[in-house]
Amino acid sequence: MGKPTGFIEYNRELPKDRSPLERINDWQEFHHSLPEEKLREQAARCMECGTPFCHSGMMLNGMVSGCPNHNLMPEWNDLVYRGLWKDALARLKMSNNFPEFTGRVCPAPCEGACTAGLAGDPVTVKNIECAIIDKAYDQGWIVPRPPSVRTGKKVAVVGSGPAGLACADELNKAGHLVTVFERADRAGGLLMYGIPNMKLDKSLVERRVKIMAEEGVTFSTGIEVGRDYPAESLLKKYDAVVLCGGATKPRDLNIEGRNLKGILFAVDFLKANTKSLLDSNLADDNYISSKDKDVVVIGGGDTGTDCAATAIRHQCKSIVQLEIMPELPSGRGSDNPWPQFPRVLKVDYGQQEAIALYGNDPRQYCITAKKFVGDENGQVKEVHTINVEWIKDDLGRFAPREIQGTEKVWPANLVLLAMGFLGPEDRLLDKLGVQRDERSNVKADYGRFATNVQGVFAAGDMRRGQSLVIWAINEGRGAAVECHHYLTGSAGTV
């Protein structure tokens, strides 16, 4: 432990973001970074607990507590404090293939389980993680390192999101010949097209994919397996297959007026915007613009926030987020003790921008849409809502009950459905004959990742359902281990 009294001497400090009214005028990342001296102070706040919950990855009360990847936070915090950045990078890379992604988009369950946070503020783990990898790139420490020996075994990884990339990275390091199939025109999956550029700069994704390609991974983009490439060919041409296609079937809202124009899934809105941004800096107009429109986002999670921030950058007329769930408390409730993941209210970047621009938080809680109303041209113009209260049913489960007299009409020229995802798409799984579980996800036990089809494995959201990027990386790494065992008959890690 480099600084035994660090958590007492130093307060938690994060770098200031770019101001909301400045950053809404561009699509660049909005986070600044702390100077090295400050970062070392923040790393000194780590207590190096005898039992560090930060990397436990336990499931408590239905949520993960600590890092699912079991990152070695106390070790690399101590190394950063002592100025040993290259050693800190080595510790970081032991368990996380892509800290440049998680350091930007992970909700940091590690910090929720930090022991320093039990009596005060947690260590700024996420920020330090991001600083380590950014410094590594700046110093030229991250370079392609192809494997010295090839096994001759060929593996197809379907999907290039965080699970697919992590799996491909690990299998390639083990010497296997890996081909990653991606139906989009660029590799990265949700990292590329599901998360806006201001939250995760796409040059970072492209940089990592380029390194992997130089290490020997083959990326076949613009190819949807099961449509453009026969599913049965996977089993004939490759010695093993790992399915990492994600949970890409969006949850719909089948209420009156759903067929009106201007009602879109959030994923389609976000993907089109990012693709146009990368292709032409939005000059090609191949995206759904919200300029001068009243925008209603249905869903209060991260995707809803991303939609709000994107619409604001389009210069929308107004923005509202409708959330059926109650507003979270400002601090931990008695039913949400440490080290559980803290279920507390946060004002994310999209809400900060709306407050700065319009003067109010766009989120409306305990409210549900009842119907959409359109104009004479079939274009949506209104969302009709009603407030709800959450009460227990006869089985003790909470369910929403409408509150009569709370009906309201919201102007809406664009409605974005951001209510999560139901599971993976059917085409490829049906053609491969892969079994599903009761939630329609691929049936493959965690820890084994093997499906009912010999030589076919599954990982990430396609197996576990919609989840975090860090879980996807964890699953991709785990599936790579099991796939490696299948290919070689060996035990141990990749």
Q: What integer pLDDT is reported at residue 27 of this predicted model?
A: 98
Whether 203 and 100 have beta carbons less than 8 Å apart is answered as: no
Q: Which residues contact 101 (CB under 8 A, 6 or more apart)?
A: 162, 191, 200, 204, 205, 208, 469
Structure tokens at 120: 């005060």
Adjacent-strand bridge partners of 318 = 294
Residue 494's pLDDT band, with cuts at 50, 70 and 90, is low
**pLDDT tens by residue, 137-162:** 999 999 999 999 999 999 999 999 99
Question: Was domain 154-248+422-488 assigned CATH 3.50.50.60?
Answer: yes
- % residues pLDDT > 70 (the chain): 99
Residue 395's pLDDT band, with cuts at 50, 70 and 90, is confident
- Cα dist from 296 to 87, 273, 368, 405, 415, whole Å: 48, 17, 12, 21, 5
**pLDDT tens by residue, 431-446:** 999 999 999 999 999 9
For the chain, where do the domains classified as CATH 1.10.1060.10 start and end?
6-138
Longest dimension (CA), the chain: 71
Whether 246 and 190 have beta carbons less than 8 Å apart is answered as: yes
Helix (H) or strand (E) holding 411: strand 408-411
**pLDDT tens by residue, 245-265:** 999 999 999 999 999 999 999
Residue 356's pLDDT band, with cuts at 50, 70 and 90, is very high
Taking 90 as the threshold, does the pLDDT of residue 430 lie above it? yes
Q: What integer pLDDT is reported at residue 141 of this predicted model?
A: 98
Q: What integer pLDDT is reported at residue 259 of this predicted model?
A: 97
**pLDDT tens by residue, 459-487:** 999 999 999 999 999 999 999 999 999 99
Residue 366 DSSP class: S
DSSP helix/strand/coil, 468: coil
**Beta strands of 116-205 (E only): which ranges?**
154-158, 177-182
Q: What integer pLDDT is reported at residue 20 of this predicted model?
A: 97
Torsion of CA 178, 181, 185, 190, to 10 degrees: -100
| pTM: predicted TM-score of the whole model, two decimal places | 0.95
Going by C-alpha positions, the residue among 144, 150, 133, 169 that lies closest to residue 244 is 169
Going by C-alpha positions, the residue among 488, 479, 413, 383 that lies closest to residue 156 is 479
Residue 396's pLDDT band, with cuts at 50, 70 and 90, is confident
Arithmetic mean of pLDDT over the chain = 95
Q: Report the topology of domain 6-138.
A: Fumarate Reductase Iron-sulfur Protein; Chain B, domain 2 (1.10.1060)
d(CA 19, CA 23): 6
Taking 70 as the threshold, does the pLDDT of residue 1 lie above it? no
Q: What integer pLDDT is reported at residue 316 of this predicted model?
A: 98
Mean predicted confidence (pLDDT) in 7-25: 95
Taking 90 as the threshold, does the pLDDT of residue 119 lie above it? no
For the chain, where do the domains classified as CATH 3.50.50.60 start and end?
154-248+422-488, 252-419
Q: Which residues contact 79 (CB under 8 A, 6 or more apart)?
A: 85, 87, 88, 91
Q: What integer pLDDT is reported at residue 36 of this predicted model?
A: 96
Helix (H) or strand (E) holding 489: none
Taking 80 as the threshold, does the pLDDT of residue 492 lie above it? no
**pLDDT tens by residue, 287-341:** 999 999 999 999 989 999 999 999 999 999 999 999 999 999 999 999 999 999 9
Q: What integer pLDDT is reported at residue 80 of this predicted model?
A: 97
Taking 60 as the threshold, does the pLDDT of residue 33 lie above it? yes
Q: Look-up: residue for tokens 């809502």?
A: 385
Going by C-alpha positions, the residue among 384, 379, 381, 382 that lies closest to residue 369 is 384
What dotted CATH number matches 252-419?
3.50.50.60
- Cα dist from 336 to 90, 110, 346, 392, whole Å: 34, 16, 16, 19
